[in-house]
């Protein structure tokens, strides 16, 4: 599978020259000869689902935004990639920036946006330089600007550097932040597609989502859908970390099983140890036990196994992992990143992590695990955004799947 990472193998893949030589910007040229609405239709037909975590159908978003009469429209690329375990956008940003730019230019043309922003994670300074250079080169070559490829299409693209808040990856908080405000999510509706950046129709997609667009436009929806599964078509980037022999970013069709990813592509568990657990899609997806290896990694099958595809950031744990500590570490992440807007997340997640802390330091009480479950229940479904809910389902996942260990019962680990 080599679509999203194709160009990376060419020397100087970050350079415009290298990108073009390996077939880059052909799709843009093709797209500009199409009717914008035809592109939107094609994306909708393809069934492409957003790669940022929620899996919302991209074509649907584009359709709504392009039909909204308000002007101007904006396009935002979510490059905030801040969730522990997730680093799948990074190779695109750092090694294949023109793929993103091309994808965004096509999307902008399709929905009628004249301005676009790449909201880039503050901890990716290399990516910033690379993207900025790529943008300058694209302007010079006529892939961005007031009259792109001489076809009368105008699109300007800017990089906005985040300040290190995970919540700004949430699309409405991202818009607030872009507008110079405190990064806190907004009430939906109105959705960004109708009232987003500066209250104008705004499409926000993940880096990888945009990266799918040039290929999709090039081959058409029908050919695109041959990759992956019917409900989750297309290629997917999986970032794998933890106890595997070959951690890294892998491009595989949607629906590839966990087993194949871990044992074929990543070379199995480190030091020949036994697999204990996997977090399949970044730390906001519930942890899975070792007996779920046959689960196909896609939007539909993971929920059947009690988890979610999320961003596709796998974290693999072997038999020596102390899952209580892992749970604490993850919960602390959410506590630290909670924006503070809503009560359940702000207060509840901090409470969860305090309890986990005392459990890990041996000062736990017998009823603590029940308390964790109850607090999680009080958080789940009551938060303003998915961050707090994420923290709650993650704790629930640990307790439900590894209860004896969470209760600290000796020998439970074996």
Ligand X SMILES: Cc1cc2nc3c(=O)[nH]c(=O)nc-3n(C[C@H](O)[C@H](O)[C@H](O)COP(=O)(O)O)c2cc1C
Asked whether 358 and 367 are in contact (CB, 8 A), the reply is no
- Tally of residues, the chain: 414
CA 95 to chain centre: 18
Nearest-angstrom CA–CA distance, 263 and 46: 30
The one-character DSSP state at 264 is I
**CA–CA distance, 93 with 122 (Å, rounded to integer):** 13
x/- mask, ligand SF4, residues 71-110, rule CB under 6 A, reads ----------------------------------------
Fill in the per-residue mask, 381 to 400: x = in contact with ligand SF4 (CB under 6 A), - = not in contact.
--xxx-xx------------
Please give the residues from 180 up to 209 whose contact with ligand SF4 meets the rule CB under 6 A: 185
CB of 397 to ligand SF4, least distance (A): 18
Residue 343 near another protein by CB under 8 A: yes
Segment 184 to 223, residues that bind another protein, using CB under 8 A: 184, 187, 189
Cβ-in-10-Å burial (0-12, 13-18, 19+) of 83 comes to buried
Does the footprint of ligand X cover residue 287 (CB under 6 A)? Answer: no
Site membership for ligand X, residue 184 (CB under 6 A): no
Which range touches another protein (CB under 8 A), out of 128-136, 180-188, 280-288, 313-321? 180-188
As measured in angstroms, the least distance from the Cβ of 21 to another protein is 45
Q: Does 349 bind another protein (CB under 8 A)?
A: yes
- The verdict on 351 binding another protein (CB under 8 A) reads yes
Site string for another protein, 370-399 (x = CB under 8 A): -x------x--xxxx---------------
The CA distance from 412 to 230, in Å, is 40
Task: Say whether residue 78 binds ligand X (CB under 6 A).
Answer: yes
The answer to the question of residue 205 lying near ligand X (CB under 6 A) is: yes
187 binds, among another protein, ligand X, ligand SF4, none (CB under 5 to 8 A by kind): another protein
Helix (H, G, I), strand (E, B) or coil at 2: coil
CA 231 to chain centre: 18
Dihedral (CA of 187, 188, 194, 196) sign: positive
Dihedral, 32, 34, 37, 43 alpha carbons, nearest 10: -90
Distance (Å, whole) CA 396 – CA 414: 21
Q: Which residues of 44-63 are buried (b: 16+ CB within 10 A; e: fewer)?
A: bebbbbbbbbbbeebbbbbb
Which residues contact ligand X (rule: CB under 6 A)? Answer: 50-54, 56, 58, 78, 80-83, 166-167, 169-171, 204-206, 209, 385-387
Which residues contact another protein (rule: CB under 8 A)? Answer: 165, 167, 182, 184, 187, 189, 335-344, 346-351, 354-355, 371, 378, 381-384
């Amino acid at each position: 599978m080599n679509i999203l990472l194709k160009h990376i193998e060419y020397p100087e893949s970050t350079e415009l020259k290298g990108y073009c030589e390996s077939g880059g910007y052909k799709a843009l040229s093709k797209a500009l000869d199409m009717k914008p609405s035809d592109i939107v239709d094609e994306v909708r037909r393809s069934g492409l689902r957003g790669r940022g975590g929620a899996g919302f159908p991209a074509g649907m978003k584009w359709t709504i935004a392009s039909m909204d009469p308000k002007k101007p429209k904006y396009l935002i690329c979510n490059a905030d990639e801040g969730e522990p375990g997730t680093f799948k956008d990074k190779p695109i940003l750092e090694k294949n920036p023109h793929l993103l730019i091309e994808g965004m230019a096509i999307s902008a043309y399709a929905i009628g946006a004249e301005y676009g922003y790449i909201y880039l994670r503050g901890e990716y300074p290399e990516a910033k330089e690379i993207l900025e250079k790529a943008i300058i080169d694209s302007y010079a070559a006529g892939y961005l600007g007031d009259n792109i490829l001489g076809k009368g299409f105008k699109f300007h693209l800017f990089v906005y550097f985040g300040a290190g808040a995970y919540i700004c990856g949430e699309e409405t908080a991202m818009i607030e932040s872009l507008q110079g405000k405190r990064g806190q999510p907004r009430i939906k509706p109105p959705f960004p597609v109708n009232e987003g950046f500066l209250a104008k129709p705004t499409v926000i997609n993940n880096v990888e989502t945009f990266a799918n667009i040039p290929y999709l436009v090039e081959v058409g929806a029908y050919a695109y859908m041959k990759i992956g599964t019917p409900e989750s078509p297309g290629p997917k980037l999986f970032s794998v970390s933890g106890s595997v022999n070959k951690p890294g970013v892998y491009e595989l069709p949607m629906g590839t099983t966990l087993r194949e990813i871990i044992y074929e592509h990543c070379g199995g568990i480190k030091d020949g140890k036994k697999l204990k657990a996997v977090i399949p899609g970044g730390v906001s997806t519930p942890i899975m036990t070792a007996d779920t290896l046959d689960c196909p990694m896609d939007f539909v099958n993971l929920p059947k196994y009690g988890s979610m595809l999320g961003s596709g950031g796998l974290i693999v744990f072997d038999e020596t992992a102390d899952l209580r500590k892992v749970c604490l570490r993850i919960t602390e992440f959410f506590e630290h990143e909670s924006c503070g807007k809503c009560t359940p997340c702000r207060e509840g997640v901090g409470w969860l992590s305090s309890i986990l802390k005392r459990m890990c330091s041996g000062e736990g009480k017998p009823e603590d695990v029940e308390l964790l479950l109850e607090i999680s229940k009080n958080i789940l479904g009551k938060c303003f955004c998915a961050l707090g809910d994420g923290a709650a389902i993650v704790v629930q996942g640990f307790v439900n799947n590894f209860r004896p260990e969470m209760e600290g019962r000796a020998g439970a680990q074996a």
